[in-house]
Amino acid sequence: MTAKAPITQDVMTLPRTLAQEGRVNLVGMTRDQMRDALVAMGTPERQAKMRVGQIWQWIYQWGVRDFAAMTNLAKAYRAQLAEHFVIEIPELVSRQLSTDGTRKYLVRIAGGHEVEVVYIPEEGRGTLCVSSQVGCTLTCSFCHTGTQKLVRNLTAGEIVGQIMMARDDLGEWPEPGAPKDETRLLSNVVLMGMGEPLYNFENVRDAMKIAMDGEGISLSRRRITLSTSGVVPEIARTAREIGCLLAVSFHATTDEVRDKLVPINRRWNIETLLDVLREYPKVSNSERITFEYVMLDGVNDSDEDARRLVRLIAGIPAKINLIPFNEWPGAPYRRSSNNRIRAFADIIYKAGYASPIRTPRGEDIMAACGQLKSATERARKSKREIEAESGLSR
């Protein structure tokens, strides 16, 4: 009998060189940007707003990439659009399918860089884990992405393009004109892939605005969760300008430990972070904040940590998501035991908080939280560098 093994496929796509021929990509433009671009092309000012709405629907609701198919626009206008613009999304390089149904995509963006995107099917819903940067400038010591040196911010088009790519792969674009489908394979988006979204604020914001727009991807703002390591000055701005749900990579209950795990804590410590989080639900009108807490054996997983955590977040509408540490080659930590995780969860639960333990998904294809890193990326830090940064010396 053969054991079930994950599947890897190379995906061939057509070479995409159109944008290099001077045509501008429409994907990722804000409504205002597209309006201006259409006016510059010669669209009469009074029509431009309506044209933006029509084009958005074709691109984001029905997944159309060819101007010729936009049948509610005049033929000559379609030809004019095709002369000036392209509709381009990141190129799918390979797709891996886990035995649990999780899909990990490797996509190539301009400049030949690669990022990973993960689709996690669940009962009655499906979540896409989207990347916001190539690598990450931060160096959280338990995170594989943090060991990757190369960084570039993704454009808004490359961020929303990941959602479009996944919808292509899942085959779930509705027929043009069909009523909106309420049950979707891709129903939720989490900005929990590679990168720190709040260090790429404008592009993340513009992409999420398209994801939430009724003429865009049409996901409710409650189905989008942005995860940050704690870029304090941008958190209030996230509430005001995006208004999606927020998750925070908390991971420790003392500054001493958090300084090592999430080095951005040296800049904005636990107290400063909690101050801004207290305001978040009021400003964004959103529900609970998710506190992510990675369970590291002997580092942050004691009963005392659990009790301290509960005391720290008192007064903040919160859910605590316990993430069993996902190992990666050379990682300087081990996952806490199941018993330890359960005991920790129990203390939090008894204090009145939901404390779900996140089931690792797609581990066989290295798709679980914190395992993402482009396999082709050659500039890596050595194990020694990683350990030095984490404050561990072995």
Kindly state whether residue 148 participates in binding ligand SAH, applying the rule CB under 6 A.
Answer: no
Percentages helix, strand, coil for the chain (3-state, rounded to 5) are 40, 20, 40
Kindly state whether residue 143 participates in binding ligand SF4, applying the rule CB under 6 A.
Answer: yes
Region binding ligand SAH by CB under 6 A among candidate stretches 27-35, 47-55, 80-88, 226-234: 226-234
Q: Please select the residue that binds ligand SAH; options are 88, 91, 116, 196, rule is CB under 6 A.
A: 196
Phi-psi region of 389 (alpha: psi -120 to 50; beta: other; left: phi over 0): alpha
- Tell me if residue 369 is catalytic: yes
Question: With respect to ligand SF4, which residue has the nearer C-beta, 57 or 132?
Answer: 132
Kindly state whether residue 280 participates in binding ligand SAH, applying the rule CB under 6 A.
Answer: no
Region binding ligand SF4 by CB under 6 A among candidate stretches 38-46, 141-149, 209-217, 351-359: 141-149
In this structure, are strands 103-108 and 114-122 parallel, antiparallel, or unpaired? antiparallel
Separation of alpha carbons 174 and 180, rounded Å: 8
- Tell me if residue 140 is catalytic: no
Region binding ligand SF4 by CB under 6 A among candidate stretches 89-97, 133-141, 173-181, 347-355: 133-141
Kindly state whether residue 138 participates in binding ligand SF4, applying the rule CB under 6 A.
Answer: yes
* Cβ partners under 8 Å of residue 122, min gap 6: none
Q: Report the partner that residue 326 touches, choosing among ligand SAH, ligand SF4, none (CB closer than 5 to 8 A by kind).
A: ligand SAH
Q: Please select the residue that binds ligand SF4; options are 52, 81, 97, 136, rule is CB under 6 A.
A: 136
Measured over the CA atoms of residue 329, residue 103, residue 203 and residue 252, the dihedral's sign is negative
Separation of alpha carbons 292 and 312, rounded Å: 14
Beta bridge partners of 126: 121
Q: Please select the residue that binds ligand SF4; options are 249, 253, 300, 355, rule is CB under 6 A.
A: 249
Kindly state whether residue 294 participates in binding ligand SAH, applying the rule CB under 6 A.
Answer: yes
Q: Please select the residue that binds ligand SAH; options are 86, 120, 143, 366, rule is CB under 6 A.
A: 143
Q: CA separation (Å) from 64 to 76, 83, 139, 168, 340?
A: 18, 17, 39, 10, 50
**Total count of residues recorded for the chain:** 394
Q: Report the partner that residue 325 touches, choosing among ligand SAH, ligand SF4, none (CB closer than 5 to 8 A by kind).
A: ligand SAH
DSSP H helices, the chain, are 31-41, 45-56, 75-84, 156-170, 201-212, 232-241, 255-261, 270-284, 303-312, 338-350, 383-390
Rule CB under 6 A: which of 354-373 touch ligand SAH?
Answer: 369-371
DSSP string, 222-283: GGEEEEES--HHHHHHHHHHT--EEEEE---SSHHHHHHHSGGGGTS-HHHHHHHHHHHHHH
Name the catalytic one among 91, 116, 158, 196: 116
* Least gap, CB of 386 to ligand SAH (angstroms): 12
Site string for ligand SF4, 164-203 (x = CB under 6 A): -------------------------------xx-------
Q: Report the partner that residue 369 touches, choosing among ligand SF4, ligand SAH, none (CB closer than 5 to 8 A by kind).
A: ligand SAH
DSSP letter assigned to residue 111: G
Separation of alpha carbons 24 and 101, rounded Å: 36
| Residue ranges that bind ligand SF4, judged by CB under 6 A | 136, 138-140, 143, 145-146, 195-196, 229, 249
- Catalytically active residues are 116, 369
Q: Which residues bind ligand SAH (CB under 6 A)?
A: 140, 142-144, 192, 195-196, 227-229, 249, 292, 294, 323, 325-326, 369-371
